[in-house]
Structure 1
Amino acid sequence: MRLSLLSALCALAAALVGPALAGDAVPKDFVTTKGSRFELNGKPFWLPLLTTQEDVEITFKQMQDAGVKVLRTWGFNAITESELAGAKKSGLTYYQVWDSSEWKLNDGPQGLQRLDKVVETAGKYGIKVILSFTNNWVGYGGSELYINWIAGAGKTHDVFYTDKRIVASYQRYVKTIVNRYKNSSNIMAWELMNEARCLGDLPGSSQCAPGSGMLHTWYKEQSDFVRSLDPHHLITTGGEGHFYWPKNPVGFWYNGTFISDYNYNGQAGEDFDADLQLKNIDFGTYHSYPQYWYPQLDTPDRQNFTLKSWGLGWIKQHADAAKKANKPLVFEEFGVFGLGSSIAFFSEHN
C-alpha cells in the first residue's frame, strides 16, 4: 500500500496515548486539543512528524513495550525546490530536494541527522531497522520524482528501471544511505524499493510486459550494487510478492467474463519465485490487501471466495517459494477492514 509502516506506527502510538481530554483541569503530560491542533502541556503536539528526539524516544519505548523487534521505515523523503520554504517553516523532515534534473542532499538537522537519531535510538531499545531506498508511489517523493525531473513529462513509470540517468541518480542516493549506516548493527536490511511495479501513479508501457524480466533485471543489478558497497547487511526487494505463472493461468469469472489475476499473470512485473533466487536477495517480502485487490469478489454472494481461504493460499504459496529458495520470508504489510484487528485476523490464519 502507499501508506508507510511509520504512519501506522504513529497511529498505534496515538492510540496508546488515548483520546484527547477537554476542560481546564487537565493533568500534566495528557494530550489535549485546541481548535484544529493537538497540544501537550500547552505546546503544539503532532507525533507523526517525529521532529524531536523526545517524540522518537516515546515511539520506540512504546514499540519496545509492545514487543516490536523490527521497524521498517522509509530511508527517503524528497521534496521539490518550490516546497522547500514550507518544509523549513513546518519542520518537515526531508532528505532530498529536487531542482532541475538532479537532487540535492539534506544531511542537516532537518534531514539525515534525524534519520541518524532514529537508527541510533532503535539500537537503544533493541530494535533493528529495515530501510527502504525509494517508493513505487508518489508518497514521500518516490521513484516518480526521478522520472519527472530526469526523463521528463510524458514518460511511463517503468523508465525508472531502464533509463541510465535515473539508475545512476538512484544509485547515488543509495550509496549515500548505505555508506552512512553500513557499519551500524542497528540496520537489519536494505530494501530496494517499496512495492516496485511496472506501473505506479504513472502508467506502465508495453516494454515492461509479462515475461520481459525488466523488474527482475533491475532487482539483480541493484542488489548486486548494494552488495558491492556493503558485504554484511541483508538485502531484500520490498516487493508485494506478485507471481508470474504463465503455465498455470490464475483468474476468476466476473459478470460472465474471465479476468486474469494481476497477482499471478506477470503484469505487475515481479516474478516472486525467480526474484527470490537472486544471489544478493537474502529474504523475500510480500504484502496482502485482498479487499483492495479483489473488490468485486469480496461480496456476500461470492461463495467461492473468502478472505480466509484466499489469505491462507497466499501465505502458503509464498512459504512454499521461500522453502524452495531456502531463504527467510517476511509478511511485511497486510490489511483488512470491517473484520476488527488486521493483526488478529492474519495471526489467526498464519
Structure 2
Amino acid sequence: MVRRRTILCSGGAVASGLTLPGFAAPASDEASNRPDGFLATDRTSFSVDGESQYLAGTNNFWLADVWTTRDEVDTMLDRATDLGLNTVRTWAFCAGRNGHCFQPSEGEYDESAFEHLDYVIEAAADRGLRLILPLANNWGAYGGMEQYVEWSETAEKHDDFYTDLETRQLYRDFVETVVTRTNSISGVPYAEDTTIAMWELGNEPRAQTKGVDVLGDWIEEMSGFIKRLDPNHLVSTGMEGFYDGDGDDWLRDGSQGTAYVDHHRIDTVDACSFHLYPDHWGVNPEYGTEWIEDHVRDGHERVGKPVYLGEFGIQVDRNASDARQQIIRRNSIYDTWYDRLDELDADGGVVWQLTLKKRAPYDDGFYVFPGDDRTIRRIERFANRMDAESGRPLHADWKRRRARRN
C-alpha cells in the first residue's frame, strides 16, 4: 500500500516568521546553555567527551503533551534544575488520541504538536538539561502500540505490533519523522542536538504472547534503524528489565517476553534500562533493593554496558488516614534505593515523577509535588552526589546563570 505522510500545518505562522500564541521566540546563542558534547558510553559508564557522566533525573510524561502550556514546561524544568537534576525523561510519542497529537491519524503528523516538542527541547537546552525520549508506548495511554495495530489492515492483537509488516512500517515512519526533524525554534536538527541524551525504542515494551526471540528481533531491527538515521545519540530499549528464565516468579521466568541481559547485548543498544515498581508488581521494597543489585551487576558484568534505572516509584494514598506514615515509608525506601544505586556505581536514576500542584487531580500515587519537602530532599541529595561524581557537573553552572537572570 502507499503510505500517507502528511504534515498538518499550524497556519504557516512559523514559516512566515510570526510567533504563535504562547510560543516563545527562538533562543539566542548567548542565552543557550545547551549541554556540551553528546552523551556517549565508555565501557560500563556514560561519558561526555571522555569524562564520566551520571544521570540524575525525573520522569515527566506530560511535559511534551501538546496540551501543556509553555509556562508549565518552564516551571517544571526550573524545578528540575533547581534540584540539581541533569536529566528529564518525557514522551516523544502520541498516536490517535482524538486527533490532536504527534500522529493524530495513520501517516498524518500534527506540526503544532512537534512545535511543542521543539519548545520542550529548547527549554531543556537553555537549562543544560538532557532528555531521554521514548518513541512508542506498550500501554494504551497516548495511543500506544495498540493504536498501530488498530490502523493496520493485517494486525489483530497487541503483540502483532512487533511482527506485522504494516505496524512495523508505521513505527519506522514515525521514528524517522521524529529523529530526522529540525527544531523550528533553534534550527538545530534533532540528530545533532546534544540536549537529547538518548532515544528509547519504547516505554516498557513487552511481548508476552510472541516471546523473547520476537522482541529481540524487533529491538535489533529498530535500534539499527535509528542508528542509521542518527549515529550521534545513544539508543536503549526503555524496558522494565524482566528476565528470561533467571527465576521462577513472573518477573524472571520469561513470561513477559523480555530478556534483560540478551536484549541489551544487541550491538545497536547502548545502555541497559530497567524500572522498579514493587507496589504494582506485588513484591516488597526489599525485593526492590535486590532488583537494583541484580540489574546493575548484570548490566555491568554480563552485558558490559551502562545501566540506568529509568523509572521507579512507591505509591502513596494521600487521602488515607495513614498518608503521613506512607510518605515516611516512601522516603525511607528511596533513601535505600538511592544509596544502593550510588554504592553499586549505577549510571543513573530517574524517579517517577516530579510534578506541579495543578496536576494533583491526575495523581496516580507516585507524584512528588512542591511541598513534599522530605521526598524532594532525597532526590536533590542523589542529584548532588551524581553531580559530584560526574566529570561535567551542571548544577553550579545553572545556579550561577539563574542568579544572573534574577
TM-score w.r.t. the length of structure 1 is 0.70
Residue pair 1:132, 1:193 contacting (<8 A) in 2 also: yes
1:225 Cα shift? 0.5
Looking at structure 1, the residues matched to 114 and 65 of structure 2 have their Cα atoms a distance apart, in angstroms, of 17
- Whether 1:145 aligns to 2:147 is yes
Q: Which residue of 2 aligns with 1:280?
A: 268
> Does residue 160 of structure 1 match 2:161?
yes
Question: What amino acid does structure 2 have at the position aligned with 1:316?
Answer: E
Indicate which of 306, 309, 330 corresponds to 1:340.
Answer: 330
Query: Residue 147 of structure 1: CA displacement?
Result: 0.5
Query: Residues 41-84 of structure 1: CA distance to partner in whole angstroms, max 9, x if unpaired?
Result: xxxxxx9876332222221111100111011110012235xx23
For residue 219 of structure 2, what is the amino acid of its counterpart? Answer: Y
CA distance in structure 1 between the partners assigned to 2:203 and 2:65 by the alignment: 20
Q: Which amino acid aligns with 2:59?
A: L
Task: Quickly say closer, same or farther: Cα 1:49–1:182, change in 2 above 3 A.
Answer: closer
Distance (whole Å) between structure 1 residues aligned to residue 205 and residue 308 of structure 2 = 16
Distance 2:202 2:65 in 1: 22
Unaligned runs of 5+ in 1: 11-46, 88-93, 200-204, 252-260, 299-305
Query: Which residue in the other structure is 2:174 paired with?
Result: 173
Q: Deviations over 1:17-58 (max 9, x none)?
A: xxxxxxxxxxxxxxxxxxxxxxxxxxxxxx987633222222
SS at match of 1:144: helix
Query: CA distance change for structure 1 residues 114 and 315 in 2, over 3 Å: closer, same or farther?
Result: same
Distance in 2 of aligned mates of 1:51 and 1:316? 37
Written as runs of structure 1 = structure 2, the 5 A alignment for 1:65-144 is: 65-80=82-97, 83-84=98-99, 94-98=101-105, 102-108=106-112, 111-144=113-146
2:194 aligned residue (185, 209, 221):
185
Amino acid at match of 1:105: Y
Between the aligned partners of 1:49 and 1:186, the Cα distance in structure 2 is 20
Q: Secondary structure at the match of 1:235?
A: strand
The letter of the residue matching 1:268 is Q
Judge conservation of contact 1:151–1:166 (CA < 8 Å) in 2: no
Distance across 2 between alignment mates of 1:348 and 1:130 = 23
> What secondary structure is seen at the aligned counterpart in 1 of 2:88?
strand
For the residues of structure 2 that align with 1:280 and 1:215, how far apart are their CA atoms? Answer: 14
Distance 1:282 1:55, change over 3 A: same
Q: Secondary structure at the residue paired with 2:241?
A: coil
Rounded Cα–Cα distance in structure 1 between residues aligned with 2:133 and 2:172:
15
Greater RCO (Cα-Cα under 8 Å, separation 6 or more): 2
**Alpha-carbon distance in 2 for matches of 1:149, 1:165:** 9
2:307 maps to which of 329, 333, 336: 329
**Cα distance, 1:140 vs. partner?**
1.1
The 1:276–1:48 alpha-carbon spacing in structure 2 relative to 1, beyond 3 Å, is closer
SS in structure 2 at match of 1:78: coil
Cα distance, 1:348 vs structure 2: 4.1
Is contact 1:319-1:329 (8 Å) kept?
yes
* 2:107 match: secondary structure: strand
Q: CA deviation at 1:198?
A: 1.6
Deviations 1:280-309 (A, max 9, x none): 100011011122212xxx5xxxxxxx422x
Tell me the distance in 2 between the aligned counterparts of 1:321 and 1:105.
40
In 2, the alpha carbon distance for the partners of 1:105 and 1:118 equals 18
The code of the aligned residue for 2:281 comes to: W
Q: State the match for 1:312 in structure 2.
A: 289
1:148-297 alignment runs, 5 A limit: 148-151=150-153, 155-180=156-181, 181-199=190-208, 205=209, 208-209=210-211, 212-245=212-245, 248=246, 250-251=247-248, 261-294=249-282
The letter for the 2-side match of 1:265 is: D
Which structure would you say has the larger Rg?
1
Contact 1:311 1:349 in 2 (8 A): no
For 2:203, the aligned partner's letter is: N
Give the structure 2 partner of residue 61 of structure 1: 78
Hey, what's the Cα distance between the residues in 1 that align with 2:114 and 2:66? Answer: 14
Deviation of residue 178 (structure 1)? 0.6
AA partner of residue 266 (structure 1): G
Segments ≥4 residues shifted beyond 4 Å: 47-50
* Helix, strand or coil at the partner of 1:280: coil
Structure-2 separation of matches of 1:137 and 1:329: 23
Q: Measured at CA, do residues 121 and 50 of structure 1 come closer, stay the same or move farther in structure 2, by a change above 3 Å?
A: farther
Give the whole-Å Cα distance in 2 for the aligned partners of 1:191 and 1:71. Answer: 13
| Counterpart amino acid of residue 176 in structure 2 | K
Aligned partners of 1:266, 1:136: CA distance in 2, in Å? 17
Secondary structure at the residue paired with 1:231? coil
1:50–1:56 Cα contact (<8 Å) kept: no
Separation in structure 1 between the aligned mates of residue 68 and residue 309 of structure 2, nearest angstrom:
29
- CA offset at residue 152 of structure 1? 6.2
Any gaps of 5 or more consecutive residues in structure 2?
Answer: 1-57, 182-189, 316-325, 342-406
